[in-house]
Structure 1
């Protein structure tokens, strides 16, 4: 993603536990002879989270899923443009590390796992150290291990005034179908493994490409459907509570009027104080989603972070 004034990129602080201590992964770049965090430019059509996972894999050979966001770094480039880089925490499992096929190359000369203190001394750039400090706050707060529950609004559907049958049967428009495909990479970046959706055709169709991509079945429920919400038979609390108790990455695909209840119930289930930020996270355009990061070790300690993403379709 680029513009006349800026170049967008994404990356992460890749981490693991070794003998009970946090280690982070630094890359030694060949061309620049520096030490930095894995990152790279957004490819056309990519969502930022998708870029982060791809670039981490391309530079390190390690497949990761994203955790909590760590902020954004900005710095000037020699061509006069500003580079804007979004970062996430990214846990590396022992299995993923063993599976890495990394070899030194023209871009990355080597990889180095170090403790946090050594990372401060090693990193070449102050902007990287600032991102590392955001990461350290997660460590200090005991919320480094997180899992996401994602609220997804269905893609653009045929308008009600152009549909003469039941509302639940409204299909996606061509734009809605494109949105459903465009969000797959972004949702996969957060390691989604459970797909729960309203029974409405437009919701089921929105998560269809994701289901195919990750080879996971779709769980349909009327409890988060718009029809049930309108006639008072919905049970958002039951659906959200089940997902928080499970502690696994999940997406809940629903409707504009139902999304505020989903975000409110996520706050309630995690002991989080309510505020305007919940309304902001629920005010999604079609095809957009909000990622709610929850502590895996103490879900009742409050929401760790919320971020919102929208496909460029």
Structure 2
């Protein structure tokens, strides 16, 4: 899901947004925006900026268009359509809940891009949407509602950025630092991970892993918690440690990032799959085969049953 840049003829225009919803005394409502120029009603979204990940774009666009700061929930897929200039456009969507305090914090004022915000019950919103592809996204979320999966929390498996070569590094493997490319990668993915609103940040105690999460920690204010038992050099079975750590995160419904090494990433994904009683599949296998600085987000239901609702993989923009 990492976009290519710059856009060239024949390359789809990429954008991201969210189905933003809230609970009120009168029932559940979702948000449509009325654009100033077009005066259409649609889900909030915007184009991807150079060097930006898709989740980061979605969170940024929601705040710019509506003033609301959201944490992304599970993905809702894409809308794809043809633009007037004959280019294809692909828009990635997530579900995003906001509470009454956040709505009150960010009173909206009309601007050159958005004329008004409209909170509507779902049936009314579907009837009011200008575009049928927005209705499709709303219906996907309604399916989630029917299964009790409207609230989710993330478990993020993150592979460290590009590190100094093991063949030329003269110190211990655990002391190998990130290269300049690895540092750029780590900085470029921080906003994408932060968009999901994690609340815990664990990492292998290897230098390259600690350095990888440093930009994320600086952005979110989360404390970095290095742990030797999730390192590839651990003297204990990392599967047992991961099982305990992920089991606790799921029980407490805590969004958690775990940064480690290529051999450990599949164990993180497997631990989430087993903890949520999901089934291992080709998709979960692919989600665990990460390149440097890629991350897989496993979305777990915060409802009565901690089901694995969805998963997605992102990486650093091309550099």
Is the shorter-chain TM-score for this pair beyond 0.5, marking a shared fold?
A: yes
Q: Deviations over 1:179-231 (max 9, x none)?
A: 11011110110012210001111100000111111112111111210101xx5
- What is the aligned partner in structure 2 of residue 224 from structure 1? 230
Q: Deviations over 1:92-145 (max 9, x none)?
A: 122211111421122211111111110110000011111111111111111001
- Write out the 4+ residue segments of structure 1 that deviate beyond 3 Å after TM superposition: none
Q: Is 1:223–1:239's contact at 8 Å kept on the other side of the alignment?
A: no
Aligned-pair CA distance for 1:271: 0.9
Q: State the partner residue of 2:246.
A: 240
Q: Which residue of 2 aligns with 1:303?
A: 308
Corresponding residue number in structure 2 for 1:194: 200
Shift in Å, 1:173: 0.6
> 1:218 & 1:283 partners in 2: Cα distance?
24
TM-score, scaled to structure 1: 0.96
Matches within 5 A, 1:135-284: 135-228=141-234, 231-234=235-238, 235-284=241-290
In structure 2, distance between residues paired with 1:303 and 1:254: 21
1:122-173: CA deviations, max 9, x gaps? 0000111111111111111110010001000000111211112221111101
Counterpart CA distance in 1 for 2:229 and 2:38 is: 54
* CA–CA separation in structure 1 for the residues paired with 2:8 and 2:28: 37
| Residue 287 (structure 1) aligns with | 293
- Structure 2 length as normaliser, TM-score? 0.94
Residue deviations 1:241-287 (CA, integer Å, cap 9, x gap): 12212212111001100111111110111111111211111011100
Distance 1:88 1:212 in 2: 25
- Any stretches of 5+ residues in structure 2 without a counterpart? none
In the alignment, the residues of structure 2 paired with residue 226 and residue 239 of structure 1 have an alpha-carbon distance, to the nearest angstrom, of 16
Q: Is the 8 A contact 1:288 1:311 kept in 2?
A: yes
Give how far 1:232 is off: 4.6
**Equivalent residue runs for 1:119-130 within 5 Å:** 119-130=125-136
CA contact (8 A) 1:197 1:219 kept: yes
Aligned length: 310
Structure 1 window deviating more from structure 2 (247-256 vs 96-105): it is 96-105
What aligned pairs does 1:72-151 form with structure 2 within 5 A after superposition? 72-151=78-157
Does 1:33 pair with 2:33? no
CA distance in 1, matches of 2:281, 2:26: 36
